[in-house]
Amino acid sequence: MKRLFTLLLIIFSSHTLLAQDTLVLNNGNVMYGEIKSLSKGVLKFETPYSDKDFLIEWLHVEEIYSRRTFSIVLQNGEKPIGSINTITNNKDSVEILEFIVFTHLIIPEIVEITPLEKSFLGRLSASLDFGFYRAKSNNLTQITSNGSFGYFAEKWDGKASFSVLNSSQDDVKRTKRSDADISVRRNLKGKIYGLIKTSLLQNEEIQLDLRSTSEVGIGSYFVNTNSALMGLSLGGAFTQETYSDSLNTVKRSVEAFVTLSVNLFNTGDLSLLTEGTAYPSITEKGRIRADLSIDLKYDLPWDFYIKFGYTHNFDNQPVEGAPENDYVFQTTFGWEL
């Protein structure tokens, strides 16, 4: 019986070891565990001997071994799906086994790794943050909340987000602003993707009851490295607006759009995301709108973070009594999955 127990223990231990992912770092340390993700130059790695995941700078990894299946993104935009292992007789290179096709490359060429989980929750990402500001003078109170939810699949990904601001102050009209959007991207070829997006905005400051914008376009990430992600997308949009001005104005417009996004994350626990979109109208002569958002995020332990945000909206043909520009500063504390 004792021999049988020992044999079973050896078999179980061998199976566990084979199931583990292995990393060799440039300082010689060897780690056994499970690759959770690679994103923004940081590899998240889970081990059985730690109560929280290790965050490892990707370029400090010299060797990697795994039999699991991953969705992988390369600098050139290719997105192979397969296992990833360092080549035994050439430690400077790794190979990705996609079905029966081998791709040979070096570690810095890999910018994203996502395990292909079968469960819905395994492919879900989310974040939620809140902010509160109170000043005794004029009884100024400001409450903000933001959230986002994402889903990843082999050929496409989707994201939904929202932001709400409520502000009140003595002798000043209460201000409420809320926006939400949902988007789906479909990988086409290399760095190119198709995009469908719908966004909603309500803003009492500019007398806007509701603006809905539906976009269809195409985009590409022209920079995709372990320190930066830069993309450009363009296409067409249809916008419908209802206002609370004296005329109860209703506008409908066909527009073009161009969006530039810049995400910088090779700055330790800091990351900077900037996105700007211009909407030149096709059906309203001379009208142009623009939206700009800047988010500076500082990561804290246990997936918490602090975020400083700035949002700016511009319209060169606002309704009567509304300003051309409106902007919001936010400081929030949140958690992400």
| Domain CATH number, residue 299 | 2.40.160.40
**Distance (Å, whole) CA 331 – CA 177:** 16
Q: Is the pLDDT of residue 197 over 90?
A: yes
Return the structure tokens found at 118: 């079968």
Confidence of residue 137 (pLDDT cuts 50, 70, 90): low
pLDDT of residue 74: 87
The residue with greater pLDDT, 122 or 237, is 237
46 and 125 fall within a common domain: no
pLDDT of residue 268: 66
193 and 298 fall within a common domain: yes
**Distance (Å, whole) CA 288 – CA 285:** 9
107 and 125 fall within a common domain: no
**Distance (Å, whole) CA 116 – CA 336:** 20
Looking up tokens 């084979």 gives 18
pLDDT of residue 160: 95
Q: Are 54 and 31 in contact (CB under 8 A)?
A: yes
89 and 200 fall within a common domain: no
Which is it for the CA torsion 97, 99, 103, 106, positive or negative? negative
pLDDT of residue 13: 41
The region of weakest confidence among 88-97, 216-225, 284-293 is 88-97
Q: Is the pLDDT of residue 76 over 70?
A: yes
199 and 298 fall within a common domain: yes
Q: Is the pLDDT of residue 97 over 60?
A: yes
In the chain, pLDDT over 70 holds for what percent of residues? Answer: 89
69 and 133 fall within a common domain: no
Residue after which a domain boundary falls, among 115, 139, 170: 115
Which of 314, 319, 237 has the alpha carbon at shortest distance from 281? 237
Residue after which a domain boundary falls, among 79, 100, 115: 115
Q: Which residues contact 101 (CB under 8 A, 6 or more apart)?
A: none
φ, ψ (nearest 5 deg) of residue 16: -65, -45
pLDDT of residue 172: 67
pLDDT of residue 267: 61
Q: Are 197 and 182 in contact (CB under 8 A)?
A: yes
The residue with greater pLDDT, 139 or 308, is 308
Which of 294, 292, 293, 302 has the alpha carbon at shortest distance from 334? 302
Could you read off the pLDDT of 252-296 as tens digits, one per residue?
999 999 999 999 876 667 889 999 999 999 999 999 999 999 999
234 and 107 fall within a common domain: no
**Distance (Å, whole) CA 85 – CA 98:** 12
Average pLDDT, the chain: 85
Q: Which domain holds residue 59?
A: 2-115
Each residue of 176-215: b (16+ CB within 10 Å) or e? ebbbebebbbebeeebebbbebebebebebbbbbebebeb
Q: What pTM did the predictor assign? A: 0.77
Q: Which residues contact 189 (CB under 8 A, 6 or more apart)?
A: none
**Distance (Å, whole) CA 129 – CA 9:** 46
110 and 179 fall within a common domain: no
Q: Is the pLDDT of residue 50 over 50?
A: yes
* Overall number of domains in the chain: 2
Instruction: Give me the count of residues in the chain.
Output: 337
Q: What is the mean pLDDT of residues 66-84?
A: 86
127 and 100 fall within a common domain: no
In the chain, pLDDT over 90 holds for what percent of residues? Answer: 40
285 and 194 fall within a common domain: yes
Residue after which a domain boundary falls, among 115, 145, 161: 115
319 and 192 fall within a common domain: yes
**Distance (Å, whole) CA 72 – CA 107:** 12
Confidence of residue 14 (pLDDT cuts 50, 70, 90): very low
Confidence of residue 8 (pLDDT cuts 50, 70, 90): very low
Collapse the DSSP code of 249 into the 3-class scheme (helix H, G, I; strand E, B; otherwise coil) and give the result: coil
233 and 274 fall within a common domain: yes
**Distance (Å, whole) CA 326 – CA 5:** 71
Q: Is the pLDDT of residue 10 over 60?
A: no
> What are the CA-CA distances from residue 311 to residues 25, 297, 298 (Å)?
40, 15, 18
CA torsion 164-168-173-178 (nearest 10°) is 0
